[in-house]
Each structure stands twice: as C-alpha cells, then as structure tokens.
Structure 1
Amino acid sequence: MNTGDHYHLSHYIPWTRFQIYKLLLISTIPAIIYACTGGKWFTMPWVPVALLGTVTAFISGFRNTQTYNRTWEARQIYGGIINQSRSFGILVRSMVRADDPALEQDIHQRLIYRHIAWLTALRFQLREVRSWEYIKKRRYNQEYQKRYYVVPEWQSDMGEELKPFLPEEERQYILARKNKATQLLSRQSDELRGLNEAGLLTDYNFVALETHLKDLYDQQGRCERIKNFPYPRQYSSLNLFFTNLLCILIPFGMVQEFAKFGPEFVWLSIPFSTLLGWVFVALDMTGEATENPFEGSANDVPITQISRTIEIDLREMLGETDLPPAIQPVNNIVL
C-alpha cells in the first residue's frame, strides 16, 4: 500500500519506460512512411481510431473498476479480521476461568498466541505466488520492487516466525499440513472443547468462542477466494488486445490530422501519439497492478502491517510490555 499523497512521475515514468519505448517506435514508423511516400497512398481516417478508443476506454474502465473492487473487498476482509481478533482476545480473557491464576494466564497466552500464529500462517499463504499474478512475471514490477520495498514473507521463513507462538510439537504438526492456517483454527477448536470438558469454559461461552472461530474461517475463506480466483482472463485478454490495437492505430490517425497543417507538422504526431498511447497503457498497467491484492505488489493490502498491529494489541491484553515495533512505511510503501 502506498501511504504517500500520490505516485510521482519519477515512479510512473521508469515503471512504464519499456512501454514508452515501444510507443515511440510504433509512432515513428507511420511518420517516416508518410514522409517517404509524400502521403500519396497513406490514409487512415481518424473516426475509426476514435471509435476504437472509446471502446477501449470503456473496457479499461470496466476492468479497473472490478480490480479496484477486488482490492477494496480484500481490505474490508482484513478490517473484519482486526475486529474479530480483538474480540477474540477479550472473550478469551473474560470467559476462560481457572482457580489457579498462573494456569489461567497460561491458557490465555496459549490461545492468543495460537491466534497470532494463525495470522502469521495466513499472511504467508496469501503471499504465495500464483501463475496468473504479475509481480514476478513482469520485469518492470520486479525492478520497482527491488528498488523501493521488500516483501517480508519472501525474506523470512514461516516455520521460524511460528516458533515464538507455538510449542515445538504443535509447530511441527502444523508445518506438515497443506493449509496451515486452517489447521491452526482446528487446533484452537480442539483446545476450546477440552477447556469446556474440563469445566474451565461454560457451554454458553464455548459456543460464543466457537462462533468466533467460524467467523475467522469465513474471513480466511474470503481471502482464499480472492487469492485463488483471478480476475476473469477473458476480460483481461480483451483489454490487452484492444489497448495494443489502439496504440498501433493511433499514430496512423495522428499523421493524417497533423498533415492538414502541412507536411512539416507530421513529425509532431510522434510525441502526441506516444502520449495518448501512454495514457491507455498506463491505465491498463494500473489495473493490472491492482488486480491481485495479496501478490506482493506496492499496491497490496498491507496484511503484514495489519497482522503486526493485531499482535501488539493482543499481547498487550496479556499484560506484556516487550512488544515488537509497529511496521512503518519504507519509501511510502507498507505491506
């Protein structure tokens, strides 16, 4: 997530420079053809180009609206996880009771630490790379990522980050499972049942905490739906085809328009065609960069920062003071 007031051209121009080079080449060819032939056989009416531009703008707008909706839904999901995590911590401390204060504190810590482990496993799973994601497939995305930020889940190991929150036997059990976050909630449910059977958790309170686990499963499932189901490829492909076709045809239409002012004005079609094509290409790239909100791009939902915030809140509920620092933006980017 970018925490600045806006992206600067010093970011956008390098990020799109390969496309700018292509647009300059495409825009130069019609001008050279016109100059070499004197425009005798070179004709391209502007009307069909303008109509294609209208269609392309509509398709790009539709795509960008839908990709933004995916990102906004992902942020809403993690907003729900924040609220439910804090509620879970409060309910654990209020509902789980034991005559021995040390035993009670140990149970509270075990349940809350397992929840923090769930947050850790979930963010690692969401940052796994899928075949349709762009962050590691596009050279310009890789260059931007290496220059401005790092993805924490790519720099560390899930097993190591789970060590402070799980007993070694349970950690090994979880690491051997495919969906680790799911199994952590399952273990959480098993312990709640054991506390209920031991008389440390009443039936009513047991149902209340189990309902919270169900809600967390729902939120995890919504995250997995966004992660594992890409923006429909048919719409993405149409946007790519129409944008490329428009960028090819714009220079031919521009040449005709500038030739009306005189042959020497034909060369002005090059910068104007490049600029107009860049608008559509940048719009397409922006939609692409917003499409997958957990892939590790600069526009991701900041699930690492959110998880750290929840961890701090929950550990403070336990009375701990030796807390990890909040994650701060680097180069106005936080993940």
Structure 2
Amino acid sequence: MYTGKSYKISEFLFWTRRNILWLLLMGTIPTILYQVFGFKWLSVPWPIVAFLGTAAAFVVGFKNQQTYNRTWEARETWGTTISASRTWAMMCRDFITDTDIAQQMIYRHLAWLTALRYQLRTTRNWESTGKSYNREYARFYSIPEKEIPIRTELAKYISTGELDTILSQHHPAMQLLNHQSNALTKLANEGRLDNSRFFELHKSLREFSALQGKSEKIKNFPYPRQYATVNRIFVWLFCLLLPFAMLKEFNELNNVASGMFKGQMVWLVIPFSVLISWVYTSLEQVGESTENPFEGNANDIPISQMSRSLERDIFEMLGKPDLPPAFDFRNNIVL
C-alpha cells in the first residue's frame, strides 16, 4: 500500500516507460510512411477509431471498477480479521483460567495469521508480479514473506513438534485452526471451560475460518481472464490505429500553418498519439496491478504490517516487555 500523498510523475513514467517506447514506435512508423514516403492511403477514417476508443474506454473503466472492488473487499476482510483477532486474544485471556494454556491459544492464533499471510503471498500464474515493470519496481520496497522463511516466523509461536506437523500438511493455516478447535474441545471435556465460553470461543473459530475462505476466494479466483484479455486487445488495437486516424487530421493543419511549420504538421501525430495512447495503457496497467491485492505489488493490502501491528497490541495486552519490531518499509510503500 502506497502511503505517500501521491506517486511522483517520475515513478509513474519509470513504471510505464516500456509502454511509452512501444507507443512511440507505433506513432513514428505510420508518420514516416505518410510524410516521407508519401503513403497517403494509410489514413484511417477518424469515426472508426473514435468508436473503438469509446469501446476501449468502457471496458477499461469496467475492469478498473471491478478490480478496485476486489481490493476493497480484501481490505474489509483483513480489517475484520484483525478486529476479531483482538477479541479472540481478550476472550482467551479472560475465559481460560490457566494462563499458560491461554497464552498458547493466543500464540497459536498468531501462528495461524502468519501462515495465512504467507499462503496469500504465494505466486499464481495469472498474477502480474512476474512482469518486467513490476519486477523492476519491486526494488523500491520489501516483502517480508519473501525475505523471512515461514519456519522462522512460526517458530516464535508454536512448539517444534507442532511446527513440523503443520509444515508437513498441505494447508498449514487450516490445520492451525483445527488444532485450536481440538484444544478447545479438550479444555471443555476436562471441565476447564464451561459450555457458554466454549461455544463463544468456537464461534470465533468459525468466523476465522469464514474470513480465511474470503481471502482465499480473492487469492485463488482471478479477475475473469476473458474480460482481462478483451480489455488488453481493445486498448492496444486502439493505440495501434490511433496514429493512422490522426494523419489526415494533422495534415489538414498545413492549410493554416505558415513559415517553417507549413507542410510539417503531420509530425505532431507522434507526440499526441503517444500521449493519448499512454492514458489508455496506463489505466489498463493500473487496473492490472489492482487485480490481485495479496500478490505483493506496491498497491496491495498491507497484510504484513497489519499482522505485525496486531502482534504488538496483543503482546502489550499480555504484559510482554519485548514487543516484536515493526516491519521496515521504504519509499512510502507498506506491505
């Protein structure tokens, strides 16, 4: 998540510079053919390209709205998860009389949250972190889940035996919830947890399972690829045809130009076609970077920082003197 007032234009140009180079080439070639080699038949009627531009604007706007909704849903899900986690810690502290077991339950919950965020940071085929412009921009920030092994993080909260068991399973986060349920059942069977408190704590586990499912839904079900594909095709087809539609329009400006500019107005097709096309390609790229809010891009939900803030709150709640350090973030990008 970017926490600055706004991105610098230099950062945005760096991020989109490959598109700019392609657009520059796409604008230069037809202009040279038209102006230097006299291929006047290359001009395309403007209404055709304008209609295509309208269609491209529609699909880009639709995609960006839907991808924003995915990011907002992810933010709401994790906000609820953090709030429910604070409640869980308080209930464990107050409902379970054995302080060691209460702490064990709280720590196992922190392990669940850790396992879940590591699971959400794994890479999927449809995600965009592997694209060249995102790989280059990634050097401006750090992703804790990519730098710290999951075993190191989980070892702070659960025993070595449980850690080995959890990591040998296909779905560590779900197994930690299962261990929590087993521990609650054992306390209830031993008479150390009355029914009302047992059901209240178990209700929280069901809520955590549902919240995990919501996060996994966003992670594992991409923005429909047919819409993403049509969006890209429309945008780049418009960018390809735009210079051809502008040739005749700028050539007619020679009728009102004078001096050294007369006869040379067609060359303005290059900068103006690049500028207009860059707006479309940039919107498409922004939408793409918003599709998957857990993948590790600069605009993702800061699940690492949210989890660490929760850990610090819980440690203070338990009276622990040594709080875990907050994750470092660079260039106003918090993950």
Structure 1 outlier segments of 4+, above 2 Å: 36-43, 325-329
Q: Give the residue type in structure 2 aligned to 1:28.
A: T
Q: Which residue of 2 aligns with 1:224?
A: 216
Q: Return the alpha-carbon distance in structure 1 between the equivalents of residues 295 and 147 of structure 2.
A: 14
Q: Deviation per CA, 1:44-101, whole angstroms, max 9, x where unpaired?
A: 111111111111000000000000000000000000001100110111111112xxxx
Structure-1 residue corresponding to 2:60: 60
- Displacement after TM superposition at 1:37 (Å): 4.1
Match of 1:16, SS? Answer: helix
Evaluate the alpha carbon distance shift between residue 40 and residue 123 of structure 1 in structure 2; reply closer, same or farther with a 3 A threshold.
closer
- Give the number of aligned pairs: 327
Which residue in the other structure is 2:132 paired with?
139
Question: Quick check: 1:318 aligned with 2:318?
Answer: yes
The aligned residue for residue 248 of structure 2 is: 256
In the TM superposition, 1:209-220 aligns within 5 A as: 209-220=201-212
Taking the aligned partners of 2:37 and 2:167, their CA distance within structure 1 comes to 69
Output one character per residue of 1:278-303: Cα deviation in whole Å (capped at 9) or x when no partner: 00000000000000000010011000
Aligned partner (choices 103, 109, 115) of residue 115 of structure 1: 109
Aligned to 2:297: 297
Shift of 1:39: 5.3
Does 2:11 match 1:4? no
Q: Which residue of 1 aligns with 2:195?
A: 203
Matched to 1:48, the amino acid is: I
Correspondence for 2:172: 180
What amino acid maps onto 1:323 in structure 2? L
**Structure-to-structure mapping, 1:151-162, within 5 angstroms:** 151-162=143-154
Q: Is the 8 A contact 2:144 2:327 kept in 1?
A: no
- How many angstroms does 1:41 deviate by? 2.5
Q: CA deviation at 1:40?
A: 3.8
Percent identity reads: 49
Q: What's the offset of the Cα at 1:36?
A: 2.8
Q: Look up the equivalent residue of 2:11 and give its one-letter code.
A: H
2:260 matched residue in structure 1: none
SS at match of 1:259: helix
Cα distance per residue 1:104-162 (max 9 Å; x no partner): 221111000000000110000000000111101x111000002x012111111111111
Aligned equivalent of 2:233:
241
In 2, the alpha carbon distance for the partners of 1:277 and 1:128 equals 33
Q: 1:70-81 to 2 correspondence within 5 Å?
A: 70-81=70-81
Residue 197 of structure 1: how far off its partner (Å): 1.3
Question: If the length of structure 1 is used for normalisation, what is the TM-score?
Answer: 0.96
Q: CA deviation at 1:43?
A: 2.5
In the TM superposition, what whole-angstrom CA distance separates every residue of 1:257-284 from its partner, at most 9, and x where no partner exists?
Answer: 1111113100001000001010000000
- State the AA in 2 paired with 1:19: N
- 1:201–1:28 Cα change, 3 Å: same
CA contact (8 A) 2:142 2:330 kept: no
CA distance in 2, matches of 1:232, 1:43: 36
Does structure 1 retain, via aligned residues, the 8 Å contact 2:141–2:329? no
Could you tell me which of 172, 179, 190 is aligned with 2:182? Answer: 190
Gaps of 5+ in 1: 98-103
Secondary structure of the structure 2 residue equivalent to 1:181: helix
Q: Conserved in 2, the CA contact under 8 Å of 1:3 and 1:329? A: no
* Higher alpha-carbon deviation: 256-265 or 34-43: 34-43
Query: For each residue in 1:197-254, what CA deviation from the matched residue of structure 2 results, as whole angstroms up to 9, or x when unmatched?
Result: 1221101100000000000000000000000000000000000100110000110111
- Partners of 1:43 and 1:166 lie apart in 2 by 69
Q: What residue is the counterpart of 2:47 in the other structure? A: 47
- Describe the superposition over 1:4-23 as per-residue Cα deviations: whole angstroms up to 9, x where unpaired: 11111111111111110000
The separation in 1 between residues aligned to 2:46 and 2:59, in whole angstroms, is 20
Q: How far, CA to CA, are the matches of 1:80 and 1:110 in structure 2?
A: 22
Contact 1:56 1:242 in 2 (8 A): yes
1:160 and 1:254 map into 2 onto residues whose CA distance is 59
| Structure 2 Cα separation of the partners of residues 40 and 118 of structure 1 | 66
Counterparts of 1:84-103 in structure 2, within 5 Å, are 84-97=84-97
Residues of 2 paired with 1:254 and 1:113: CA distance? 64
**Over aligned residues, Cα RMSD in angstroms?**
1.0
